[in-house]
Amino acid sequence: MPAPRQIRLVQTLGPHEETALAIFYDNPKLRDYWYAVASDVEVTNDVVGRRLLGEDLVLYKDASGDVVVAPDRCPHREAPLTAGEINDGVLACCYHGWAFGAEGKCVSIPSADPSFPIPKSSHLPCYRAQIRYGLVWVCLGEPTSDIPEIAEDHDKTFRRIHNPVVEWKVSATRMTDNFLDIAHFPWVHIGTFGNAQRTLVPKIDLQDLPGGYHGYEYDVIADNPPSAQMSSGETEGEVKRTMSTGFHLPFTVRSTIKREKGPAHIILLLSTPIDDVTSYFTFVVWRNDDFSVASEDTILFDRMIGAEDKVMLEKIPGVLPFEHGALANTQSDKPSTAWRLKFVEMLGG
Ligand code: FES
Ligand SMILES: [Fe+2]
């Protein structure tokens, strides 16, 4: 584990750099939360490398299918374990063949007499990891809370639909800010549902939402082009949606869409910091439709919306500034401002 630097919320890069970058990713408090880093299926038969909060990790599944997550560094001579090979749940290092199995235990040292006991220092110092919602979740420290609960995951009338975990060149702080924001809909989502959006955002009242989220409820008129109708379940050109959107610290956002006629549609938006300015993104969807449409088809529209956000956000460098007065806000920024305050408080700033 790298030695954490002091908590710093703002760092000015230099006299010619006008962008103040907040450094958050090495704040030790962030290690005590769960992050989605990979799809379950990616890890099923492969050794997978990921970087979380600046730390390189190796991911693999042992013979019983339990996921193992450890620093990507062999305890012997520090070769990257991601360069190794997995066979029947045992990961062999490519340098001298030391092999690791369940819970990262070293099970073989080819150069040593097998009657010789394997020293404890040969085992991998594993992190907590679990599979939930089709994703591999990792906590680098002591979890202070559980993975956000989605009650509908236990409801048989809903189905869960997965998406790949992809890398965005965007700070997780900007992603969370964006996912809580509705004022950008008519500007950024013009190619999907945003055309019918009114630019004026009604007054937002923040409240605690079910499942431990904090956010707001609102009605929107959304464009419902043919590409959206598989998802919305409605055929009119414009549809009314009742939405609720809220956050769960540090970077989870849940949006629930209820339509007058179509199915309920829950989106869990997950931003995982690789470092300050790069993140993994994935989203999971739950729907109570009649399951007659292929799962993939019901989320194509959501993927198009996500692609629009990515294009926009990758234009904005650095971290969302945290210091008071650094950003101009209007009433539609209330949810994001509430998240920023709670996030800074969480970091100890
Ligand atoms: S460095 Fe991995 S076995 Fe030697
Ligand atoms: Fe968006």
Could you please report the per-residue DSSP string of 127-177? BEEEEETTEEEEESS--SSPSPP-GGGG-TT-EEE----EEESS-HHHHHH
Give the CATH H-level superfamily of domain 151-347: Naphthalene 1,2-dioxygenase Alpha Subunit; Chain A, domain 1 (3.90.380.10)
Q: Say how many Å lie between the CA of residue 21 and the centre of ligand 1.
A: 38
**What 3-state class would DSSP assign to 181?**
coil
Q: What is the pLDDT of residues 128-161, one digit of tens each?
A: 999 999 999 999 999 999 999 999 999 999 999 9
Asked whether 192 and 227 are in contact (CB, 8 A), the reply is yes
Residue 96 Cβ inside 6 Å of ligand 1? The answer reads yes
Please give the average per-residue pLDDT across 260-283, as a whole number: 93
| Sequence ranges of the domains in the chain | 35-139, 151-347
Q: Which ligand is nearest to the CA of 185?
A: 2
- CATH number for 35-139 (one of 1.25.40.10, 2.102.10.10, 3.20.20.120, 3.40.50.1970): it is 2.102.10.10
Q: Residue 235's pLDDT is what?
A: 80
Site to probe by mutation for ligand 1, drawn from 93, 107, 111, 123 as the one with most ligand atoms within 8 Å of Cβ, is 93
pLDDT greater than 50 at residue 5: no
Q: Say how many Å lie between the CA of residue 188 and the centre of ligand 2.
A: 7
Any idea which residue has 């007659």 for tokens? 292
Q: What is the pLDDT of residues 256-270, one digit of tens each?
A: 988 777 788 999 999
Instruction: Give the residue among 41, 46, 39 at the shortest CA–CA distance from 60.
Output: 46
